[in-house]
Chain A
Amino acid sequence: MTAVELPGTVTEAAPPARSGGLFRTAWGFPQAKIGTGLTLVVVLIALLGPWLGPVLTGHTTTDFAGKPFKPDGVAGTDGLGRDVLTRFLAGGTTLLLYAVLATALGIVLGALLGMVAGYGGGRLDSLLMRGNDVLLSFPQLVIALLAIAVIGPEGWLLVLVIGLTHAPRTARVARQATVAVRGQDYIRAAEMYAVPRSRILLREILPNITGPLMVEIGLRLTYSIGYIASLSFLGLGIQPPSADWGLMINENRIALVVQPWGVLLPVLAIAALTVGTNLVADALASAAAGRKREARA
């Protein structure tokens, strides 16, 4: 038995502060580092490419650099004799921009719907979520194809349709997270002080459901990239003669055997980007789940 020095009053040990935030925890997973690396490389290509292309190759995306399907230059030429490398470097910007906009639209709308349904509860909840279920029963791509077939391949429509079809999916996640938070006493405390409902949603609930929402952002971004690339490939997205990865795959696939670069480069870029964002989403999900476990313990 050892003598123990006593402080003036009986004190409780303050709990050790949880180490860092969600991102800090997520960064500890290897997939976060790999995912961020892949994403960064592709994003850099997409952002700097339009400017870098002409500097490196001396060609624009539309001028004729040589004979069709010849391995001239670094990555050769496509069916119209345009420089593949230049077009590849310039082809990611629009895709990335549209994907980010569509994701933002889907997340904002979905989170709002989900939080309102989850916090409001009762009939409002049933009404919103059953409506949601109806929308969920249509495959995303089918709705997008329909809208574009009717209205035409406009950039804003692409963003709108993909964003809107993301919303019900995000809404389910946001609602689930909100329901878990709704019963907490700090929400009741805010209600007791008659804090306006909109403020309760934004200040009390939103900061406490960022974990699942971050995962959703990563996941929806992955899907957006995939859908926009698919629609471009089908000729319903970004229109020629613009340089675009999805479109390039379609334009060059007939010459896959003689001039593979025209297909390979955009395929690799899209693959790296989707795998990268998905890995980051995965790491965020693991981190959020870990924190939840910790909170229960």
Chain B
Amino acid sequence: MNAALEVTGLAVRTTAGVPVLDDVSFAVAPGEVLALVGESGSGKTTAGLAPLGHFRRGLAVSGGRITVCPRGEDSVDVLALDTAARRKLRGSTVAYIPQDPALSLNPALRIGLQIAEVLETHGFPGSVEDRVAEVLAEVGLPADPAYRRRYPHQLSGGQQQRVGIAMAFACRPAVVVLDEPTTGLDVVTQALVLKTVRALTAEHGVAALYITHDLAVVAEIADRVAVMYHGSIVECGPAASVLRSPSHAYTRRLLDAVPDPDAVVAPPPAAEPVLATKGVTVSYGQHVVLRGVDLSVARGECLLLLGESGSGKTTLSQCIAGLTSSYSGTISLAGTGLAASTRQRSDEQRRRIQYVFQSPFSSLNPRKTVAQSIEVPLTRLTSMSRAERRERVAEVLDRVRLGRAPADRLPEQLSGGERQRAAIARALVTTPDVLVCDEVTSALDVSVQATIVELLGELRRELGMAMLFVTHNIALAGEVADRIAVLQGGAIVEEGSVRSVLDAPSHAYTRELLAATPRL
């Protein structure tokens, strides 16, 4: 069978002459899913968008061929087409499903109209209305007229993404390009979306190019995998064989970085709780976010707080850090009750509880150097002299394996992983007893995520501090935690040692989460 999409020897450079892609070749047959895997900056998005004839500003093709084969017609050389012809190609023959459905749907148009618009633009033969209903049913959404009259904001993230998929599949394309379409979704929704994509491509013989950095997702969906590194494909083959026995060193490293839900660290010695919450309840008007949460973390222990977006896990961690003061119930540190607001707590209490924010891209002031940011807790909470502070900052930068070079740089000059290390350094600089980590890995690439998780584990052992690791990713549990607490709808539904929860989850919600988590 002829490939629906074939890329041969594609080379792309920036207009300044820096190579972005070098001799990239791959082919996708109808009904096949090829996953394009790599870190940020590996060129996977550039290679993935090439079949659409789209190159970001400042990039130019310097060689190679891209051919797509529309249904029942001769193949077309995409690079030889002019702008108008490429535009006609997009959506009809080659469709694109973007990363964030919320940004790609027009918030002012009803979803039925948006799907119909795609069909009308490409001159769909036959009844547009029937096709809209049909394609909505295909992606597992209700196809009734009332549903079609909804606006994007009336849908959940998973439904929005399925509308995006419906738009892409509406014109019965030969090729679809999916650009990390499940990144923003929780695992249960992700599993559903992956299933939808898998079924649609197989059923309609569509060639799919799936761009991702998540190897666990690859294992779920892809027939074949192409691993990209520094603008080249370093390994390409059937998914099973690439994931089971990778031949290239880079692929092995990527695979090692994927958190393994079955890994388990040794149980820690039981100790007195250093941090405890009792009946913590938060509500905004009618909306209850937390309903009487009881938790305790012992000295040197790591508790993993697991929950989906909206479960209240960030609210809880912010209550502990004193950032949300409108709660009832008590939070105590080593047996002493804490004031709700951080401003009413003592310097000593503030020093002992530290917090690492989710995104290192917003937790460091862009106008302050790394050293200036790390110095803030020292200036505020200790009486160290300037020279002592400088010394301590250098020490802690070494401790997070960042070295002293970045001290005088601005955050924008650091990579995401380096920024997160700097943010962790700021939290560690006062040697806290409790470290609250709020989704600290979710903004990072898998391999970087692995190094941060590893770092946190080492630091915990070195410094003997307690850790509350808040995440939605159950796969991290075995890697970092001693115990797990599962938060759903603002209440703890399950709590226990990592082993017992993963092996024999007692609550239906935990079981559902475990089942939906993609595995290698």
Interface residues of A (CB under 8 A from B): 1-2, 4, 6, 9-10, 12-15, 17-18, 184-186, 188-195, 203-204, 207-208
Of the residues A6, A194, A204, contact of B365 by C-beta under 8 Å: A204
- Whether A192 contacts B412 in the complex (CB less than 8 A), given A2-B22, A10-B254, A186-B363, comes out as no
Which A residues lie within 8 Å of B412 (CB)? 15, 17-18
Interface: B120 (CB within 8 A): no
- Whether A6 contacts B250 in the complex (CB less than 8 A), given A14-B418, A189-B426, comes out as yes
A-B contact pairs, 30 of them (CB 8 A): A1-B23, A1-B25, A10-B257, A12-B39, A12-B40, A12-B417, A13-B415, A15-B412, A17-B412, A185-B357, A185-B358, A186-B364, A186-B366, A188-B357, A189-B355, A191-B323, A192-B321, A192-B322, A192-B323, A193-B342, A193-B350, A193-B376, A193-B380, A194-B342, A194-B345, A194-B347, A194-B350, A203-B368, A207-B365, A208-B367
Whether B448 and A4, one on each chain, are in contact in the complex, defined by CB atoms closer than 8 angstroms, is no
**How near does chain B come to A83, taking the closest CB pair, in angstroms?**
51
Which A residues lie within 8 Å of B232 (CB)? 1-2, 4
Specify the chain A residue showing the minimal Cβ separation from B416.
A12
Interface: B199 (CB within 8 A): no
Which B residues lie within 8 Å of A191 (CB)? 323, 342-343
Interface: B41 (CB within 8 A): yes
Interface of A is mostly: loop
The 4 closest A-B pairs by CB, nearest first: A207-B367, A185-B363, A12-B415, A185-B357
Interface: B101 (CB within 8 A): no
Interface: B381 (CB within 8 A): yes
Whether A185 and B359, one on each chain, are in contact in the complex, defined by CB atoms closer than 8 angstroms, is yes
- Whether A14 contacts B413 in the complex (CB less than 8 A), given A4-B230, A191-B323, A194-B350, comes out as yes
- Whether A10 contacts B342 in the complex (CB less than 8 A), given A190-B376, A208-B366, comes out as no
Whether A185 and B362, one on each chain, are in contact in the complex, defined by CB atoms closer than 8 angstroms, is yes
**How near does chain A come to B20, taking the closest CB pair, in angstroms?**
12
Provide the bound-state CA to CA distance between A174 and B371, in Å.
28
Provide the bound-state CA to CA distance between A2 and B40, in Å.
20
**How near does chain A come to B93, taking the closest CB pair, in angstroms?**
28
Interface: B149 (CB within 8 A): no
Which B residues lie within 8 Å of A186 (CB)? 362-366, 373
Number of interface residues of B (CB under 8 A): 54
- Whether A10 contacts B253 in the complex (CB less than 8 A), given A15-B415, A189-B363, A195-B376, comes out as yes
**How near does chain A come to B507, taking the closest CB pair, in angstroms?**
32
Provide the bound-state CA to CA distance between A207 and B411, in Å.
14
Interface: B468 (CB within 8 A): no
Specify the chain A residue showing the minimal Cβ separation from B378.
A193
Interface: B234 (CB within 8 A): yes
Within 8 A of A (CB), among B395-448: 412-418, 426, 445, 447-448
Specify the chain B residue showing the minimal Cβ separation from A1.
B233
- Whether A194 contacts B380 in the complex (CB less than 8 A), given A1-B236, A13-B415, A186-B362, comes out as yes
Provide the bound-state CA to CA distance between A12 and B413, in Å.
12
**How near does chain A come to B117, taking the closest CB pair, in angstroms?**
25
Interface: B152 (CB within 8 A): no
Of the residues A12, A13, A15, A195, contact of B380 by C-beta under 8 Å: A195
**How near does chain A come to B250, taking the closest CB pair, in angstroms?**
6
Interface of B is mostly: mixed
- B251-264: CB near A (< 8 Å → 1, else 0) gives 00110010000000
Which A residues lie within 8 Å of B373 (CB)? 186
Whether A12 and B448, one on each chain, are in contact in the complex, defined by CB atoms closer than 8 angstroms, is yes
**How near does chain A come to B36, taking the closest CB pair, in angstroms?**
14
Which B residues lie within 8 Å of A6 (CB)? 249-250, 253
Which A residues lie within 8 Å of B230 (CB)? 4
Whether B357 and A189, one on each chain, are in contact in the complex, defined by CB atoms closer than 8 angstroms, is yes
- B115-144: CB near A (< 8 Å → 1, else 0) gives 000000000000000000000000000000
**How near does chain B come to A151, taking the closest CB pair, in angstroms?**
42
Whether A12 and B23, one on each chain, are in contact in the complex, defined by CB atoms closer than 8 angstroms, is no
Interface: B210 (CB within 8 A): no
Provide the bound-state CA to CA distance between A204 and B236, in Å.
48
Interface: B229 (CB within 8 A): yes
**How near does chain A come to B412, taking the closest CB pair, in angstroms?**
6
Within 8 A of A (CB), among B475-515: none
Of the residues A1, A17, A193, A207, contact of B381 by C-beta under 8 Å: A193
Provide the bound-state CA to CA distance between A207 and B372, in Å.
14
Which B residues lie within 8 Å of A208 (CB)? 365-367
- Whether A14 contacts B414 in the complex (CB less than 8 A), given A186-B363, A192-B321, comes out as yes
Interface: B377 (CB within 8 A): yes
Provide the bound-state CA to CA distance between A6 and B447, in Å.
14
Provide the bound-state CA to CA distance between A14 and B360, in Å.
14
Specify the chain A residue showing the minimal Cβ separation from B410.
A17
Which A residues lie within 8 Å of B376 (CB)? 189-190, 193, 195
Which A residues lie within 8 Å of B414 (CB)? 14-15
**How near does chain B come to A7, taking the closest CB pair, in angstroms?**
10
Which A residues lie within 8 Å of B415 (CB)? 12-15
Provide the bound-state CA to CA distance between A192 and B25, in Å.
51
Known: A1-B235, A203-B368. 11 other contacts (CB 8 A): A14-B413, A186-B363, A186-B365, A188-B363, A191-B323, A191-B342, A194-B342, A194-B345, A195-B376, A195-B380, A207-B367
- B341-356: CB near A (< 8 Å → 1, else 0) gives 0110101001000010
Which B residues lie within 8 Å of A4 (CB)? 229-230, 232, 234, 250
Most buried by B among A2, A9, A12, A15: A12
**How near does chain A come to B368, taking the closest CB pair, in angstroms?**
8
**How near does chain B come to A231, taking the closest CB pair, in angstroms?**
38
**How near does chain A come to B116, taking the closest CB pair, in angstroms?**
29
Provide the bound-state CA to CA distance between A199 and B426, in Å.
18
Specify the chain A residue showing the minimal Cβ separation from B42.
A13
Which A residues lie within 8 Å of B249 (CB)? 6
Which B residues lie within 8 Å of A14 (CB)? 413-415, 418
- B73-89: CB near A (< 8 Å → 1, else 0) gives 00000000000000000
- Whether A12 contacts B357 in the complex (CB less than 8 A), given A186-B362, A194-B342, comes out as no
Within 8 A of A (CB), among B46-87: none
Specify the chain A residue showing the minimal Cβ separation from B248.
A4
Provide the bound-state CA to CA distance between A2 and B249, in Å.
14
**How near does chain A come to B206, taking the closest CB pair, in angstroms?**
26
Of the residues B41, B342, B343, B426, contact of A12 by C-beta under 8 Å: B41
Which A residues lie within 8 Å of B377 (CB)? 193
Which A residues lie within 8 Å of B358 (CB)? 185
Provide the bound-state CA to CA distance between A168 and B388, in Å.
44
Of the residues B250, B254, B362, contact of A184 by C-beta under 8 Å: B362
Specify the chain A residue showing the minimal Cβ separation from B359.
A185
**How near does chain B come to A81, taking the closest CB pair, in angstroms?**
58
Provide the bound-state CA to CA distance between A61 and B29, in Å.
88
Whether B236 and A10, one on each chain, are in contact in the complex, defined by CB atoms closer than 8 angstroms, is no
Specify the chain B residue showing the minimal Cβ separation from A5.
B230
Most buried by A among B253, B345, B363, B418: B363
Specify the chain A residue showing the minimal Cβ separation from B373.
A186
Specify the chain A residue showing the minimal Cβ separation from B438.
A185
Which B residues lie within 8 Å of A10 (CB)? 39, 250, 253-254, 257, 447-448, 451
Which A residues lie within 8 Å of B426 (CB)? 189
Specify the chain A residue showing the minimal Cβ separation from B344.
A194
Specify the chain A residue showing the minimal Cβ separation from B321.
A192
Provide the bound-state CA to CA distance between A188 and B416, in Å.
19
Of the residues A2, A9, A13, A194, contact of B343 by C-beta under 8 Å: A194
